[in-house]
Structure 1
Amino acid sequence: MTAMQTPPLGLYVHLPWCVRKCPYCDFNSHAAPEQLPVETYLAALRADLDRELERAGGRTIASVFIGGGTPSLFPPEAVGRVLDWLAPHLEAGAEITLEANPGTLEQGRFAAFRSAGVNRLSIGVQSFDPARLEALGRIHGPDEARRAVEAAHAAGFTTFNVDLMFALPGQTPAAALQDVAEAVRLGAPHISHYQLTIEPNTVFYSHPPALPDEDTAWAMQQACDEHLRGQGLRRYEVSAWARPGHACRHNLNYWAFGDYLAIGAGAHGKISDAATGTIRRYRKVKVPALYMDRARNGRAEAEAWPLPVAERPLEFLMNALRLEQGFTPELFADRTGMDYTAVASGVAQAVADGLLEDADGRIRTTTTGHAHLDTLLQRFLPETS
């Protein structure tokens, strides 16, 4: 073991309601009631936050990510109140991201969210193709998606993300490329580009749609990657592309095995204690009504568990190897509290096999390693007795 260093700290805020749950979504999201319980939920968040700040022990927060659900369904004033509570605990220039969907009701609120303290948006476009949006169960059309991006510019957001998916039901490589080209044309400084996967406990899992085969999906990804690179965006994580200065700092901290507090129904957190060399993960109560009841009574946490030393290498690598910049042996030691020798031989073998590269003191996945990341990570599974 070696001395663990205290990593940067983020905060995830979960607002669990959306207009309608999409058939591919496995997040903790729920169709919104006719009247959102804004005040009751805010009271629960405040009580939850107070306990989380105690957990932080005076550490400042470098980034906030407000996700869901559709957080932009909440009034900007409500989001502003949360950010006001946080203000004394934020680092100067903290990144504050709000997820938003391109419904026309929400677009008019972008300027108000910015005034409330949000300085980054993540807009869930998914596609600009009407047939693909319908297949995904989205409630917006392509024109609303375009207007949402334009509204982000008009509201003064200098950085924001456009979220896209590919390998959608009935999608061709040309159509996937058109989605990416449209996001670039609209001036998105950050584009998240995810392959649709079918997850358990979703409608698509029970009633799977016909998706492009593996070779077609790979062709889509390659064509889109080439276009994004040619337009001056740089991939910094497996599914994230950004112009210089526009990478999501909150997600970078996550992938670099940093710490993050969590408030809201079903939110997950991770906190390290450098003094004791321990890492703790935890999850809040998932059901919104139960969360609101328990959080106000100091019982928002549903479960918590220590991260055993034997599992730290795999957990670290599952995150860090998604980053284009990879990691250094020093970062591994600082974040896990373990000596780099714990993974050195496995890394060396993966380098020899062409899955990783060791250049300038940084360990990174190769193109082949990216394509076979799950197989690569299996090499670092903890030994079982």
Structure 2
Amino acid sequence: MPPKSKWNNLDQMPRNPKIKSLYVHIPFCAHLCHYCDFTKMLYRLEEADRYLQRLFFEIDSYHIQDLETIYVGGGTPTSLNHNQLKSLIEKLSPLLKDGGEFSVEANIENASQEKLRILKQHGVNRLSFGVQSFQPRLLRHMNRLHDEGQTNIAISQAKECGFTNISVDLIYDLPTQNDADLIDDIQKAIALDVPHISTYSLSIHHATVYGIRGYLEADSDESRRHYDIILSMLRAAGYTRYEVSNFAKPGYMGRHNLTYWNNEQYYGVGLGASGYVKNRRYTNTKNFRKYLEGSTISEQEEVTITDQETYFLMLKLRLQQGFSDSEYRHMFKQSFTAKYPQAINLLLQRGLLHHRKNRWYATDEGLMLLDQVLLTLLKEH
């Protein structure tokens, strides 16, 4: 349902609502990838300077302090030049309390050793590299400019700079990708010896080059087969799947993304960024000119108790840890089993849901059919 009164400007947003996470969007890229649907634009020096000035004003408007996680994404944060990158990290570092997680996305082709040093020296302690694939023809097809050798160098340089918490992203279900490509990509990602690997099935969006060219997403059976290959290989290599798409060595789960999956509130700043504050989900304008002129929030929705429950189930069941009976009761003032007895019984019988030690989990099969699990639950009420 629409909110009774909207936050048209930043000064209308509640101050210091004890939010512990911040997402910062940097929309600039050195080039545009054929699959990417995020808010992005080509890097230009003067536009980036103006953007950072406006971004810093937005950050100041929230009076943020004592954060537990910061995540800088894009776009390509490392497309900024040295001075811009340094000023950005210096702006953000004081907002993070001791022991917090400070993540920055990096592209292989422009994450120079000097930029990595800047990040490390000014408080960044986690890097997420967009590797996507090691196959030359697939990288060309995606309009990615790096190669396997550059990936190996970038990861080595990050380690030399003192980074130990490093993640790499891979995409599967790519056009023309075969099983041998996928297996090779996973083997080479494992060989990088990084503690976190994320794998994402390709989604085709109509406004991207892939969408315009009419490429189709992999069918569900093919995608499931690919996912099973990934799951088997990463588990054998010592990675734990803690969320559908994310695998980590012990102690290296992505703390910021757990904010989203645990349905916790967070700030989102920058062009097209989304946030969740005081039971409202909001999205900033994606219009660069309007953003620079001071128009910030373009969309928002009041999150009702029904919405909260939908988000809770949808996000918590993505996690390997699921949720406890007491968590559900604390949030919604009733028993999970009392509210959904028929749906729960059906999902247990079909092997999609599991209950152990007072916690509810989606099974391996249930994780692959989460939409069906959620629909079965919500249809009961």
Map 1:90-109 to 2 at 5 A: 90-104=96-110, 106-109=112-115
Is the aligned partner of 1:241 residue 2:247? yes
2:306 to 306, 310, 320: 310
SS in 2 for 1:109: helix
* Paired residue type of 1:189: P
* Paired residue type of 1:52: Y
Map 1:39-78 to 2 at 5 A: 39-53=49-63, 60-78=66-84
CA contact (8 A) 2:22 2:70 kept: yes
CA contact (8 A) 2:34 2:209 kept: yes
CA contact (8 A) 2:85 2:115 kept: no
Q: What is aligned with 1:339?
A: 334
CA distance, structure 2, for counterparts of residue 186 and residue 79 of structure 1: 26
CA distance, structure 2, for counterparts of residue 197 and residue 172 of structure 1: 17
Distance 1:340 1:108, change over 3 A: farther
Is the aligned partner of 1:38 residue 2:48? yes
Q: What is aligned with 2:316?
A: 320
Q: Identity over aligned residues, as a percent?
A: 33
Q: What is aligned with 1:275?
A: none
2:235 to 229, 238, 243: 229
Distance 1:81 1:173, change over 3 A: same
Q: What is aligned with 2:365?
A: 368
Is the aligned partner of 1:9 residue 2:20? yes
CA distance, structure 1, for counterparts of residue 22 and residue 263 of structure 2: 14
Distance 1:172 1:212, change over 3 A: farther
* Paired residue type of 1:227: M
CA distance, structure 2, for counterparts of residue 88 and residue 329 of structure 1: 38
Structure 1 consecutive aligned stretches of length 4 or more whose deviation exceeds 6 Å: none
CA distance, structure 1, for counterparts of residue 43 and residue 363 of structure 2: 43
| Shift of residue 282, structure 1, vs aligned partner | 0.8
CA distance, structure 2, for counterparts of residue 80 and residue 331 of structure 1: 41
Q: What is aligned with 2:167?
A: 161
* Paired residue type of 1:309: I
CA distance, structure 2, for counterparts of residue 382 and residue 221 of structure 1: 28
Q: What is aligned with 1:21?
A: 32
CA distance, structure 2, for counterparts of residue 338 and residue 103 of structure 1: 51
Q: What is aligned with 2:355?
A: 358
| Shift of residue 213, structure 1, vs aligned partner | 4.7
| Shift of residue 68, structure 1, vs aligned partner | 0.3
* TM-score, structure 2 normalization: 0.88
SS in 1 for 2:168: strand
| Shift of residue 91, structure 1, vs aligned partner | 2.4
* Paired residue type of 2:291: Y
Distance 1:79 1:159, change over 3 A: same
| Shift of residue 215, structure 1, vs aligned partner | 3.5
CA distance, structure 2, for counterparts of residue 211 and residue 85 of structure 1: 40
* Paired residue type of 1:323: L
Q: Which sections of structure 2, spanning at least 5 residues, go unmatched?
A: 1-16
CA distance, structure 1, for counterparts of residue 31 and residue 262 of structure 2: 33
SS in 2 for 1:325: coil
| Shift of residue 152, structure 1, vs aligned partner | 1.5
Q: What is aligned with 1:195?
A: 201
Q: What is aligned with 1:120?
A: 126
Distance 1:237 1:76, change over 3 A: farther
SS in 1 for 2:62: helix
Q: What is aligned with 2:211?
A: 205
The size of the alignment, in residue pairs, is 363
CA distance, structure 2, for counterparts of residue 257 and residue 86 of structure 1: 23
Map 1:127-146 to 2 at 5 A: 127-146=133-152
CA distance, structure 2, for counterparts of residue 74 and residue 305 of structure 1: 33
CA contact (8 A) 1:7 1:258 kept: no
Q: What is aligned with 1:3?
A: none
CA distance, structure 1, for counterparts of residue 81 and residue 127 of structure 2: 15
CA contact (8 A) 1:122 1:163 kept: yes
CA distance, structure 1, for counterparts of residue 232 and residue 269 of structure 2: 38
SS in 1 for 2:323: coil
* TM-score, structure 1 normalization: 0.87
* Paired residue type of 1:371: M
Deviations 1:96-121 (A, max 9, x none): 10001110563542122111221111
Larger RCO of the pair (alpha carbons < 8 Å, separation 6+): 1
CA contact (8 A) 1:343 1:380 kept: no
Q: More deviation in 168-177 or 126-135?
A: 168-177
Deviations 1:286-328 (A, max 9, x none): 122321221xxxx411122210122221111221111111111
| Shift of residue 77, structure 1, vs aligned partner | 4.1
2:260 to 244, 254, 268: 254
SS in 2 for 1:94: strand
CA contact (8 A) 1:96 1:120 kept: yes
CA distance, structure 2, for counterparts of residue 144 and residue 375 of structure 1: 41
CA distance, structure 2, for counterparts of residue 382 and residue 47 of structure 1: 45
| Shift of residue 338, structure 1, vs aligned partner | 4.8
Distance 1:78 1:32, change over 3 A: closer
Q: Which sections of structure 1, spanning at least 5 residues, go unmatched?
A: 1-5, 273-278
| Shift of residue 146, structure 1, vs aligned partner | 1.9
| Shift of residue 76, structure 1, vs aligned partner | 4.6
| Shift of residue 339, structure 1, vs aligned partner | 3.4
CA contact (8 A) 2:198 2:246 kept: yes
| Shift of residue 283, structure 1, vs aligned partner | 1.0
